[in-house]
Amino acid sequence: MDNNIKNVGSAKIIIDDKTFDLPVMRGTLGAPGIDVRALHKHTGHFTFDPGFTSTCSTESQITFIDGQKGKLLHRGYPIEQLANNSTFLEVAYLMINGELPNITQNEKFTRTITEHTMLHDQVEQFFHGYRRDSHPMAMMCGTVGALSGFYHDEAHTTVDEARDIAMHRLIAKMPTIAARCYKYSIGQPHVYPNNELSYAENFLHMCFSVPAEKYKVSKTIASAMDKIFILHADHEQNASTSTVRLAGSSGANPYACIAAGIACLWGPSHGGANEACLNMLREIGSVDRIPEYIEKAKDKQDPFRLMGFGHRVYKNFDPRSRVLQKVAHEVLEELDLDNPILAVAKELEKIALEDEYFAAKKLYPNVDFYSGIVLSALGFPTSMFTVLFALARTVGWISQWNEMLEDPSQKIGRPRQLYSGELERNYIPISNR
């Protein structure tokens, strides 16, 4: 990767009446950053930034977010255009390679992924080591990490071809692993991939097909699944992506790095938000109780919070939610479900979009609100929501991992700290304590 950031000026920092100049760097889009790499060397000080919310940890050319304008770009392409016109595998190619594929490239890439969806037969035995009531994310995290035992290649960090093979394997096998986690958790037999189906169709086939009855994949449902994958493919340097990069900075194999990302994603503050949203809808329970909960949400003294509304990064609207809103309505119309929870969701969406309180605070329904509705309508239990998130996000993780290895300025991650523990003291023998 070529470093495209440029020095556009300097910032001054004054410490104990001494002034130090620090370079100001700018990329192609977004706010500039103050280069503090030499700060400790020249001043003896570190920056203090818990959560790294004001720290750029890397240069990247993959994803850009403008939270104020509600923009999400992958390699420069707006997420709305990709979700409405592209396919998940086409987006995967874009994320990895930097450009959209032509017809020949797309056919070759699709064929490569399709032909590598099978798991090693011993991986099947691996699943039987889990308890039946194991959380699907626990199974996914352990199984993906275990792939390093089947495909251990020391060349993955130094040889382009070896990296390509690892990336293709992960993209291809994640749907199979995710579907196997689901099937195992509900006590149904494993369904093998079908190379005649598309990426999304094949995943749905492996999840919902049974030996006793043929499963026909709806085009509307398959399209919805594909769009959900695209919308969750990458989201800049979030917690799980940063975890993948940090693990990868040590030279760890790609399967271990992705497993680390899955473990981070499992946290309720990250990938579990759509599950929390659905649990909120269940708490409300019926349409007639929505006004009561709307008032509770407006009351600052009430602990109740509307899940699935607003976003930490997007201060206007989440561009993914607009795409998924349309998808949600298409899916609900296709399935024509008489589900009280989905009825609550539709009415809550309507009220929140019209209520001046939420409009003023820009608390619009976000991607977690709609994805929870769609996935629930498709028949997935809430325990599978984060698994599907991880499946989609693997494309982003592996692209970020690959970019990190190609970055000539990359170093092993080593955050600093402000120590606030005991001063140096002498050991006291246990008999004298």
The yes-or-no verdict on residue 376 having pLDDT over 80 is: yes
Per-residue model confidence (pLDDT) at position 343: 83
What value does the mean pLDDT take over residues 174-184?
97
**Rounded distance between C-alpha atoms, residue 223 and residue 241, angstroms:** 26
Q: Which residue has the higher pLDDT, 231 or 329?
A: 231
Per-residue model confidence (pLDDT) at position 325: 85
Per-residue model confidence (pLDDT) at position 265: 93
Asked if 26 and 32 count as a contact pair (C-beta separation under 8 A), the reply is: yes
**Rounded distance between C-alpha atoms, residue 379 and residue 209, angstroms:** 12
pLDDT tens digits, 26-78: 999 999 999 999 999 999 999 999 989 899 999 999 999 998 888 999 999 99
What value does the mean pLDDT take over residues 143-147?
94
What value does the mean pLDDT take over residues 215-230?
94
Per-residue model confidence (pLDDT) at position 279: 84
Per-residue model confidence (pLDDT) at position 66: 93
Per-residue model confidence (pLDDT) at position 368: 82
Query: For residue 230, which amino acid is it?
Result: I
Asked if 245 and 413 count as a contact pair (C-beta separation under 8 A), the reply is: yes
Least confident segment among 183-192, 228-237, 276-285:
276-285
Per-residue model confidence (pLDDT) at position 297: 87
Per-residue model confidence (pLDDT) at position 107: 97
- Per-residue confidence at 158, pLDDT binned at 50, 70, 90? confident
Ordered domains of the chain (ranges, CATH): 6-56 (2.20.28.60), 75-270 (1.10.580.10), 273-378 (1.10.230.10)
Q: Is 156 a catalytic residue?
A: no
Residue 358, token pair as written in the block: 């939420």
Asked if 321 and 365 count as a contact pair (C-beta separation under 8 A), the reply is: yes
The yes-or-no verdict on residue 409 having pLDDT over 90 is: no
**Rounded distance between C-alpha atoms, residue 172 and residue 203, angstroms:** 11
The yes-or-no verdict on residue 273 having pLDDT over 80 is: no
pLDDT > 90: percent of the chain: 65
- Per-residue confidence at 207, pLDDT binned at 50, 70, 90? very high
The yes-or-no verdict on residue 2 having pLDDT over 80 is: no
The yes-or-no verdict on residue 412 having pLDDT over 80 is: yes
Which 3-state string (H, E, C) describes the chain? CCCCCEEEEEEEEEECCEEEEEEEEECCCCCCEECCCCHHHHHCCCCCCHHHCCCCCCCCCCEEEECCCCEEEECCEEHHHHHHHCCHHHHHHHHHHCCCCCHHHHHHHHHHHHCCCCCCHHHHHHHCCCCCCCCHHHHHHHHHHHHHHCCCCHHHHCCHHHHHHHHHHHHHHHHHHHHHHHHHHHCCCCCCCCCCCCHHHHHHHHHHCECCECCCCCHHHHHHHHHHHHHCCCCCCCHHHHHHHHHHCCCCCHHHHHHHHHHHHCCCCCCCHHHHHHHHHHHHCCHHHHHHHHHHHHCCCCCCCCCCECCCCCCCCCHHHHHHHHHHHHHHHHHCCCCHHHHHHHHHHHHHHHCHHHHHCCCCECHHHHHHHHHHHHCCCHHHHHHHHHHHHHHHHHHHHHHHHHCCCCCCCCCCCCCCCCCCCCCCCHHHC
**Rounded distance between C-alpha atoms, residue 178 and residue 180, angstroms:** 5
What value does the mean pLDDT take over residues 166-172?
96
pLDDT tens digits, 340-375: 877 888 888 888 778 888 878 878 788 888 888 889
Per-residue model confidence (pLDDT) at position 246: 96
Dihedral of the alpha carbons of 374, 379, 380, 382, in degrees to the nearest 10: 80
pLDDT tens digits, 82-127: 999 999 999 999 999 999 999 999 999 999 999 999 999 898 888 9
Neighbours of 377 (CB within 10 A): 20
Mean per-residue pLDDT over the chain, rounded: 91
Per-residue model confidence (pLDDT) at position 370: 83
- Per-residue confidence at 313, pLDDT binned at 50, 70, 90? confident
Backbone angles phi, psi at 23, to 5 degrees: -65, 145
Per-residue model confidence (pLDDT) at position 153: 73
337-357 exposure pattern, b = at least 16 Cβ within 10 A, e = fewer: eeeebbebbeebbeebeeeee
* Number of residues that this document lists for the chain: 433
Per-residue model confidence (pLDDT) at position 410: 87
CA distances from 217 to 51, 201, 208, 305 (A): 43, 6, 9, 37
**Rounded distance between C-alpha atoms, residue 178 and residue 232, angstroms:** 15
How far the first Cα of the chain sits from its last, in Å, is 58
Q: Among residues 16, 311, 336, 407, which one is catalytic?
A: 311
Per-residue model confidence (pLDDT) at position 300: 87
The yes-or-no verdict on residue 421 having pLDDT over 90 is: yes
Backbone angles phi, psi at 309, to 5 degrees: -125, 135
What value does the mean pLDDT take over residues 404-416?
91
The yes-or-no verdict on residue 3 having pLDDT over 80 is: no
What value does the mean pLDDT take over residues 316-342?
84
* Stated pTM of the model: 0.90
Q: Is 311 a catalytic residue?
A: yes
Asked if 10 and 22 count as a contact pair (C-beta separation under 8 A), the reply is: yes
The neighbouring-strand residues paired with 133 are: none
Q: How much is the CA Rg of the chain, to the nearest whole Å?
A: 24
Per-residue model confidence (pLDDT) at position 151: 87
